[in-house]
Amino acid sequence: MKVLHDVSIEMTEGETVILLGTNGNGKSTLIKTIMGIVPPNQGEIIFESEGVQINLVGKKPQEIVNMGITMVPEGRRLFPQLTVEENLYLGAFRREARQNLERNLSYCFEVFPRLGERRTQLAGSMSGGEQQMLALARAIMSSPKILLIDEPSVGLAPILVSQLMTSIKEMKENLNLTVLMTEQNFSQATKIADRGYIIVHGKIEFRGSNVELSGNELVKQYYLGT
Amino acid sequence: MSQPLLEVQQVFKNFGGFAALSGVNIYVNPGERLGLIGPNGSGKTTMINCISGLLTPEKGKIIFEGNDITQMTPHHRARAGIMRTFQIPKPFNSMTVVENLCIPLEYAAEHKTSLSVAEEEARKILTLIGIEALGDLKPTGLTQVDMRKMELARSLAGRPKLLILDEVMAGLSGSEVDEILEILFKLNEQGITIIMIEHVMRAVLGFSKRISVLNTGLNIAEGTPDEILNNPEVEKVYLGE
């Protein structure tokens, strides 16, 4: 089965880009391919850091994380039997992140005070929304330059979705992140995105600014519903 | 008025020192569509764990079709007609999607059905949900969303009178939400009573006849979707803006 077909996307430092498309169209696969979890059959993934271009294809996920690219996986994938704090420490596994551990930890507790209140609680015993915050915070603990976020608002109460989007925006600005995000909640996602792509059956069918996306027929058909 | 299909009376549930439910009351009438909403961590899933029998409340009663089922085991409740979905599906990964559906189908039929009949039924349910093409795959190969659709199919395979949906719309796009809603309306017309826990507002507001709202393990509001939308407390703790 062909999941991605001749897909080209690019992100400039500091951008927030959304990846749209209904389910089963290859969005998560694209994120996993960037992270080295799924190897592509063809193509290149180029990461430019301090003027040096590196092809990520063939690199292991941990090597990619070490370069400063981190994902927040769909479905959170926390360590349920570990505490909130232990999950966060594990996010800071890479060397650069260890040096910034205390700073990042207090930053996470500042953005998500609930995690601070629950630092000794087991991750698996928290509600879905709290777990989503933890998954995001764990990614921040790795001191990323690029953050790939797969469906952050799934399972969150409406009030939390807008808070989460605001938090992502704040973190992006404060930490100078570049963000690629898949999200089904179109109106919330476009509040923080600079531009986006629509992916249909593994191909990029449209690319444009927020305004162009909002007026696009594919978006109306798939996202805004009837 | 006829008696409710399900009544939850003054239910309390603690986890260690944490009070997840502090005297919650919920009822649903036969054939009704009830929405259950509330902030993350307000006790919704704990509530349905008590209804489906995964948890036993410390205090309070759960009445189904007039019988006290508070102490009944989950599989007996399933056979009595209470089926629910899980937020994180845990199918049998070594079996195909169809085989996964055959298990509840056979159980609901008290093992008096042949495997070929069960398989035929399983494929009918998959067609209804729109995932008939996945029948012979293993669940591990499915996307998260197809997993959720399979979870819905599995719960239908248990032949529910009362179907409890724990965030089945999560992660679905607008058009997919509409597809699932259409299926749920159809099931409801066939007589299945449905409780929908959902954060996708378009779904829960459009589907429910009545909505009950929990916050910090307490009932804080109940009413029609319009009444709930205009309730200042619900706006403050849940809807925002």
**pLDDT tens digits for range A123-140:** 988 887 789 899 999 999
| Residue ranges of A 108-147 with Cβ closer than 8 A to chain B | 125-130
| pLDDT of A210 above 80 | yes
Compare all CA atoms of chain A with the CA of B168 and give the residue at the minimum distance. Answer: A155
Compare all CA atoms of chain B with the CA of A118 and give the residue at the minimum distance. Answer: B18
How many angstroms away from the CA of A61 is the closest CA of chain B?
21
Tens-place pLDDT, residues B189-209? 999 999 999 999 989 999 999
Interface ipTM:
0.73
Q: Which residues contact A9 (CB under 8 A, 6 or more apart)?
A: A17, A19, A30, A197, A204, A207
The answer to whether B239 contacts A222, with C-beta atoms less than 8 Å apart, is no
| pLDDT value, residue B228 | 96
The answer to whether B40 contacts A127, with C-beta atoms less than 8 Å apart, is yes
**What is the residue extent of each domain of chain B?**
1-81+160-241, 90-159
SS (H, E, C) A12-50: CCCCEEEEECCCCCCHHHHHHHHCCCCCCCCCCCEEEEC
What is the CB neighbour count within 10 angstroms for residue A140?
25
The answer to whether B39 contacts A75, with C-beta atoms less than 8 Å apart, is no
Strands B59-64 and B67-68 turn out to be antiparallel
Strands A203-209 and A46-49 turn out to be unpaired
Count Cβ neighbours within 10 Å for each residue of B102-136 and write b for 16 or more, e otherwise.
bbbbbbbeeeebeeeebbebbbebbeebbbbebbe
- Answer yes or no: are the C-beta atoms of A123 and A82 closer than 8 Å: yes
Which chain B residues touch A222 with a CB distance below 8 Å?
Answer: 173-175
Pick from B205, B239, B237, B240: nearest CA to B224: B205
Q: What is the pTM of this model?
A: 0.81
How many beta-carbon pairs below 8 A join chains A and B?
Answer: 90
A4-8, A65-69, A140-144, B171-175: the lowest-pLDDT one: B171-175
Q: Which fold has domain B1-81+160-241?
A: Rossmann fold (3.40.50)
Q: Is B171 on the interface with A (CB under 8 A)?
A: yes
pLDDT band at B179 (very low <50, low <70, confident <90, very high): confident
Which chain B residues touch A162 with a CB distance below 8 Å?
Answer: 240-241
How many angstroms away from the CA of A220 is the closest CA of chain B?
9
Q: Is A66 on the interface with B (CB under 8 A)?
A: no
Q: Is B143 on the interface with A (CB under 8 A)?
A: yes
DSSP 8-state code for residue A182: E
DSSP 8-state code for residue B224: -
| pLDDT value, residue A226 | 44
The answer to whether B240 contacts A159, with C-beta atoms less than 8 Å apart, is yes
